[in-house]
Chains A and B, each alone.
Chain A
C-alpha cells in the first residue's frame, strides 16, 4: 500500500480547521524533521487518515470521522506553524 501526501487531505484539513494548511510547517515530535504539510506521508481510508513523518515514519496526525464528527489527534507533532 503506497502513500499519498498532505495535498490529498487539504480539503479535509480545511473542513476541520477552517483554514488552508498544506503550506503549514510541521515538526515531527519523534525525530524533529521539519516539513510542510503537503510533503507529509498520508495513508487514507485505513479507516481514517494517518499522517506520517517522511523521514522517520512516526505517526504525526490521525483523523477519523466518527458519527459525523471529525476526531483529530495531533499528538505526534511537536509543532505546527502556519505558513
Chain B
C-alpha cells in the first residue's frame, strides 16, 4: 500500500451529496482560480462577441447589444477536471440558444475563442437546448476578471475547462477541432458523469 500521510485530509470541506457529485470528484466550498495565463483586461467599449464559421453571415455583438438580450439567472453545480466540484453556483447570463437565434448553420461542432488565446471545442449540441450560457455575473455581482469577467462561457454539464473564461465568440464548424487542452489529450466532450477527462475515455 502506498504511503499515507498520517492525519492528512486536504482542503476538502464540503459535504458530498448523493447524486450530486460525479465519480472521482470532491466538493469544494471555495472557488479556486485556475488559469493558463495572465488575466486579460478588455475594456467594455472594445468587447465584442462574434459567431462565425459555418454561418451565412458572421454575427457580432457589442457589449451593450449583448446585455440588451434576454438573460437568465441559473443555479448549477460545476465540476473541474482537477477533481473539485462546487455545488449550487449562481450565474446570470445569456443563453447560447438566444445568441444563436436566427443563425442558420449545419455545423455540428464549435470552438469557443477567448482573449488571451485560449480555445476549447465541444459538440454544438452541448451548447444548445438550454444547457449553456455566456455568463456576465456570478453570485449576484459582475463576473470578476479572475473568474473570466467581463463574460465567460458557462457549460455546467461538462468539465469546467469547457466554460471558457474571457470568451469572445464561437466558431461553428462541420468538424471537431481540438482546443487548447484537447490538443494535449483532454477529452473533446468532457462529460463528468461519464468521467470523460482524457481523449479515449
Contact = CB atoms under 8 A, between A and B. Distances in A.
A45 B34 contact: yes
A64 B39 contact: no
Interface in A22-76: 43, 45-48, 50, 52, 57, 59, 62, 64, 66-67, 71, 73
A46 B35 CA distance: 5
A47 B180 CA distance: 11
Given A45-B82, A47-B82, A47-B161, A3 B38 contact: yes
Contacts of A73: 183-184
B184 A64 contact: yes
Contacts of A48: 181, 184
A2 B35 CA distance: 9
A50 B146 CA distance: 17
A73 B161 CA distance: 18
A12 B36 CA distance: 17
A83 interface: no
A1 B33 contact: yes
Interface string B176-195: 00001101111000000000
Interface in B14-71: 33-39
Contacts of B180: 62
Nearest to B165: A1
A64 B35 contact: no
B38 A64 contact: no
A53 B187 CA distance: 27
Nearest to A75: B183
A50 B36 contact: yes
Contacts of A52: 37
A43 B36 contact: yes
Nearest to B82: A47
A64 B34 CA distance: 14
A62 B34 contact: no
10 contacts: A1-B34, A1-B35, A1-B39, A45-B34, A47-B34, A47-B161, A59-B36, A62-B180, A66-B198, A73-B183
